[in-house]
Structure 1
Amino acid sequence: MSGVRLRPLVVGAHVCTLLALLVFAVMTGVPAGAPLAWSGARGMPLAWLFNLLAWIGPGLVVAFAALRMRAAMPDARLGAGIALRLMLLAALAFAAQGLLTLDPNELDGGASRWHATAWMVWNLAFGAGALMAGLALRRVRWASLIICALCLLAPALLGPIVGPSVVLAAWAAWTLLLAWRVPPAR
């Protein structure tokens, strides 16, 4: 499968996440300022479907894309290989957010800690991957470094309401950037 064919998969994954976030927020009446994963929290209507459409499915699609991109670069230097493996790790952690759901009765403990851990692994693997891509892949250098800064600084600078949304947008931008700029498989 060539890099060109990966592009619609990555676009579709992010569109799926965005639509799930929007549709389920309206459907379930998610309060303003609630975590992005609120619609998939325990006890929410159709939480399993939300988690499948927002996190699990898109995460697995991006993981597949990361594997294919890495296969397209068999002679890649160490930094590029690490960047794409971190993309794979981040995509799997993204999917894990849908498996490790929030508990609305205990947001700071219990099962919610596992969800928060998956989110943190995703955020850190994604930030480190963007940094490595910025250092190792000339074709995505400056964009990856800017995205890395957004990923790592947005939660602290923009707070718990806006920060995660900016990180999610940065994730979409970075994975789309790689899908467009990494050389396609031969």
Structure 2
Amino acid sequence: MPLHSPRRIENPLGAIAAAIFILAVVGFGAALDGYVQTRHPVALLGAGGMPHALAFNVLGWAVPGLLAVAVAVYLLLRLPVGSHWVQRVAGQLLVLAGMAFTGMGLLPLDVADLDGPASQAHASAWMVWALAFIAGTLMLGIGSWKTLPPLARLALSCGLVAAVSAFALQGLVPAPIAQRVTFLAWAVWLGLALPMMGRSSPHR
């Protein structure tokens, strides 16, 4: 029984992170006059000079990102003893993804200078997040296919959706929509990873 209680406490962390992010995007988007979810990037809500930008950068980026780091750390701790190095590297990449997500709040977009250093720094944080998340989930899915099949299927599904939406859909659908599909894949991963791993992994 003691082995199960901590897991029940940890399991909602990802869902909480996803919910905070989604509510922040929807809520701050509704509060910003003229903002349209299908036409404007999420980063605009936290851009310098925008109303309530600091609050969004905290609630939309920093808090969910830190919770995502916690989810990735718990995932690493739950890996079975003797796990393949691919799984552990994947977990470390997911930690990096959470840190980069937080970094998007620390490095807000500058709408007055989209080619300036501030905007480039934000874009770099987004790219690190996307690449680390995609690589981490795909590696975890491949490395866990035999030992943790439900988690592997979730990881591969979310990683593939994120890869396609982040890098292949940009020319086919409006960029803000493609970006939101990527964020949705991340939110689904966060919400389900720990609960699914709890059902899949052997007791330690």
Cα distance in structure 1, aligned partners of 2:127 and 2:187: 16
Cα distance in structure 1, aligned partners of 2:179 and 2:165: 7
Match of 1:26 in 2: 30
Superposed displacement of residue 15, structure 1: 0.7
Give the aligned CA root-mean-square deviation in angstroms. Answer: 1.8
Normalised to the residue count of structure 1, the TM-score between the two structures is 0.92
2:22 is aligned with 1:15: no
CA-to-aligned-CA distance 1:99-158 (integer Å, 9 cap, x gap): 000001112332111001000000000000110111012232233222222111113313
Superposed displacement of residue 74, structure 1: 5.8
CA-to-aligned-CA distance 1:46-92 (integer Å, 9 cap, x gap): 21111100110110011012112212226222121112111111011
Q: Deviating runs (4+, > 4 A) in structure 1?
A: none
Q: Percent identity?
A: 34
Structure number with larger C-alpha Rg: 2
Match of 2:182 in 1: 167
Match of 2:86 in 1: 79
For residue 41 of structure 1, the aligned residue among 35, 39, 47 is 47
SS at match of 1:182: helix
Superposed displacement of residue 30, structure 1: 4.8
Contact 2:12–2:191 (CA<8 Å) still a contact in 1?
A: no
User: How many matched pairs?
Assistant: 186
Match of 1:107 in 2: 114
For residue 88 of structure 1, the aligned residue among 92, 95, 99 is 95
Superposed displacement of residue 160, structure 1: 1.2
Cα distance in structure 1, aligned partners of 2:141 and 2:189: 10
The structure with the greater share of residues assigned to helix is 1
Residues 149, 116 of structure 1: CA spacing in aligned structure 2 closer, same or farther, 3 A cutoff? same
Match of 2:10 in 1: 6
Residue 28 of structure 1 aligns to which amino acid in structure 2?
L
2:59 is aligned with 1:53: yes
Match of 1:62 in 2: 68
Cα distance in structure 2, aligned partners of 1:21 and 1:150: 20
Q: Which moved more, 1:155-164 or 1:89-98?
A: 155-164
2:158 is aligned with 1:154: no
Match of 2:191 in 1: 176
Residue 119 of structure 2 aligns to which amino acid in structure 1?
S
Normalised to the residue count of structure 2, the TM-score between the two structures is 0.84
Q: Which moved more, 1:104-113 or 1:122-131?
A: 104-113
